[in-house]
Chains A and B, each alone.
Chain A
Amino acid sequence: MSARDRFLDLVDGYFAGTLDRAAHAELERTLVERPAARALFWIAVNHDILTRSGSAAPAAAAVVPRAAAAGARPRARSWWRRPRLLLATCAASLLLAVGAMLIPARASAVKPAGDAVIATVANAAAASGAAGRVRHRDAVEEVLVPGLALRAGDHLEVALGASADLQVPGEATTFGLGSQSTLQIEAGATGLRLRLAQGTLAAVVAHQSPGRQLTIATAEATVEVIGTRFVVSAGTGRTSVEVEQGRVRVAGAGASGTVEVGAGESAQAEAGRPVRASSADDAKPVAWPDRRPLGLIMLCAAETGWVGNPRGWFSDPLVDTTTPAGIAAFHQRLEVMIDVTIAHLTEMDAQGVVFWDLEGRATAVSYVGDPRQLDRLAPEMESIADHIFSRLRSAGFRVGVALRAQEATAAGAGLVLRPVADPARLLQAKVDYAQRRWGATIFPVLGDSGGALPMATICRRVGAGSPGLLLLPSCDGAEAYRWSAPWQDARKPTAPNPADARRALPGAFGAFAEMEPGELARRRDELVHAVGAGDILAFRAWYADPAQPLIRAIYAAAAAARK
């Protein structure tokens, strides 16, 4: 073996973690002493990044084969190392945000012969359990995992609260599938055809070669595209198409007509009705007639470090969620809290109540905003959450939970918030989960998306895809009022405020965060006017907050003024 090949095997061994002490020292010595080795080192790194799978064991005799290396970790191939699977996690979020034309050239040139791979699963994410499944055309079923090759005839089902990204090999085309999406892959003579039975599909489509066209079909419509970026949502007899960039043609099923939709526009198709296009000029505020007060539940102290009560429940160090007896006592206390909350909601004539910190507050992330992770983050709450929400709904109140458009992921002993490829899809997945499990319809959206998409766009996509829910995002911009009731917190003011928003968009409204009695008294006239114009006031519902009578008085004064 030449000295050069020996060196390359040492580099291989370095990245495999299989060099013994002598080999490691030899590698370092070569790098320091031989300039040619330094340049070759980077070629080897690049090569390793692109070609190393879990399989190819280093060949050098001095390098322990990876399979035999004690404690060697399994080497899942990651997005930036795979020629064809460049889109995932943060890179995907970025690419979706900046457009398909920026996807870097990939090293992939390997085209499977014969039974062509139409797409590969670039990313499949679920808070718990499998992200979904694929039923191949030969009836074999597989779990939806990154790296899975998809061919014509394959049928994908994304699980509740999960998502998946697909990448078309050889072109900069990606598809993001949201929670509970069902997709059939077909290949026609003139190009790829996807059939979306239900759910959401966010497409970034590279310009198709002449004579080829990508088609996305739902029960109500067919979307024909040459190259653009758009979102299709299908379900409950309705299909909506939101175009972010480029232009698509939407043909309604049967004889319901065809419309062309450009950037910033959307189209809706429903069975038996003509397909119709709408644009920003058709602006209307979110439809939510009930403007009664909204109760809040915030039970936890943050980052207490209490051994028995790490999530800070009831801000009480004596709570113990680490023993069966302690959990039973915790549940009993929750029952009492729900009794009290229902009494206050009734007294306040509230429309509903939102649980702000369902997952507890053990970490620096503060409010987690992901009920899909409840079983992992707060098992003591997981076991009683269904019962709690059921009681609140049985008492006649809407329910909701606070969410985030970022992913809270484990980092060491804590959590970190990470931007994701498609924050709208992530938020939709969380909404779907809470809707399905608890019948939740009101969702404060905390923080931002980490920059991947403006919050107004996220609300538009989630709001348009799920009528009958109220999003309360903390965000700026008049556009947000079309799809949500932006959260008004004096500690973090947003612009425009609801009064200003109504000048451009009559009927727009916001929701005011809980306030102290002093602030309510000081802003009384302003708030009476706000409530009269349709804004919602939130209040602490889990105890006898002295602010409650002041809010009742404000609502009464607003009602009197209307008369």
Chain B
Amino acid sequence: MTPTHTEQVQQLFVRHAGLLGGFVASICGDLVLADDILQEVFLVVSTRADSFVIGSDFLAWARAIARLKTLEHLRTRRRERAVLSAEALAAVETALPDAESWQTQREALTRCLERLTPGQRRLADLAYVEGLAPQAIAARLARAANVVHVLLSQMRRALRECVLRRLRVEEW
């Protein structure tokens, strides 16, 4: 079955959803709110699919929608936290990765997850696969909650170091 034009646009959205989500989050400074906004962006992308020409720059088109939707949220909702200034946002947007670079970053994380110690792998499973809260992880592993907090923090830091090494991000 050949996908309709709208479905093709929606496919593009799914392909770029992670990057668009990151973009929205960078503006609103809230990963949870970004999730809600991204769903609205999806709706707008779907309803305005006719105005997008397949083959042109989807990310640029969708980013414009995402920016408008996010700013609309920030205007109409009471702000719960500080967001980046227009100047800082403009600066980070100049370095926005393309879809390929975004994927490369994700693959780096995948490889790094594989390189964790068995204990850290188990923690990553519980935290990221099963989505357990620290208290639940503590109960599952029969460890104290504050110990689990520390272990999670260490595991996350190890992941970060590994990702930075793989992506050859140098020290400043």
Measuring CB to CB, which residues of chain A are less than 8 angstroms from any residue of chain B?
2-4, 7-8, 14-15, 17, 19, 21, 24, 27-28, 31-32, 34-36, 38-43, 45-57, 59, 71, 73, 75-85, 89-91, 94-95, 97-99, 102-105, 107-110, 112-113, 117, 120, 146-149, 169, 245, 263, 412, 418-419, 450-451
Contact = CB atoms under 8 A, between A and B. Distances in A.
28 contacts: A3-B172, A4-B169, A7-B172, A15-B31, A17-B29, A27-B84, A35-B95, A43-B169, A45-B22, A46-B18, A46-B102, A46-B105, A47-B105, A51-B159, A53-B127, A53-B152, A54-B133, A55-B134, A90-B39, A107-B106, A108-B129, A109-B111, A109-B113, A110-B121, A117-B129, A169-B129, A419-B43, A451-B46
A260 B94 CA distance: 54
Given A80-B17, A98-B11, A112 B94 contact: no
Contact of A4 (B1, B132, B172): B172
A56 B123 CA distance: 11
B80 A17 contact: yes
A245 B134 contact: no
Interface in B1-22: 1, 3, 6-7, 10-11, 13-15, 17-18, 21-22
Contact of B124 (A49, A110, A450): A110
The 6 A-B residue pairs with the shortest CB-CB distance in the complex, in nearest-first order: A147-B131, A38-B95, A78-B35, A17-B81, A28-B88, A55-B134
B129 A149 contact: yes
B26 A55 contact: no
A68 B3 CA distance: 49
Nearest to B46: A451
Given A47-B109, A98-B14, 10 more contacts: A28-B85, A31-B91, A32-B87, A42-B92, A43-B164, A46-B105, A55-B149, A98-B11, A102-B11, A110-B124
Given A14-B84, A46-B106, A245 B1 contact: yes
A19 B15 CA distance: 32
Overall SS of chain B's interface: helix
Nearest to A75: B32
B32 A73 contact: yes
A110 B29 contact: no
Interface of B: 1, 3, 6-7, 10-11, 13-15, 17-18, 21-22, 25-26, 29-32, 35, 38-39, 42-43, 46, 76, 80-82, 84-85, 87-88, 91-92, 94-97, 102-103, 105-107, 109-111, 113-114, 121-122, 124-125, 127-134, 137, 148-149, 152-153, 156-157, 159-160, 163-164, 167, 169-172
B39 A418 contact: yes
Contact of B152 (A32, A55, A83, A94): A55
Contacts of B80: 17, 71, 73
A451 B30 contact: no
A59 B156 CA distance: 10
A277 B101 CA distance: 48
A95 to B, nearest CB: 6
Contact of A43 (B31, B82, B163): B163
Contacts of A52: 31
Contact of A120 (B97, B111, B129): B129
Nearest to B40: A416
A109 B114 contact: yes
Contacts of A77: 131
Contact of B13 (A4, A7, A94): A94
A89 B172 contact: no
B31 to A, nearest CB: 5
B172 to A, nearest CB: 4
Contact of A89 (B39, B91, B103, B134): B39
Contacts of A85: 131
B98 to A, nearest CB: 11
A403 B67 CA distance: 33
A37 B148 CA distance: 31
Nearest to B13: A94
Contacts of B46: 419, 450-451
B110 A107 contact: yes
Contacts of A28: 84-85, 87-88
Given A102-B14, A450-B46, A53 B128 contact: yes
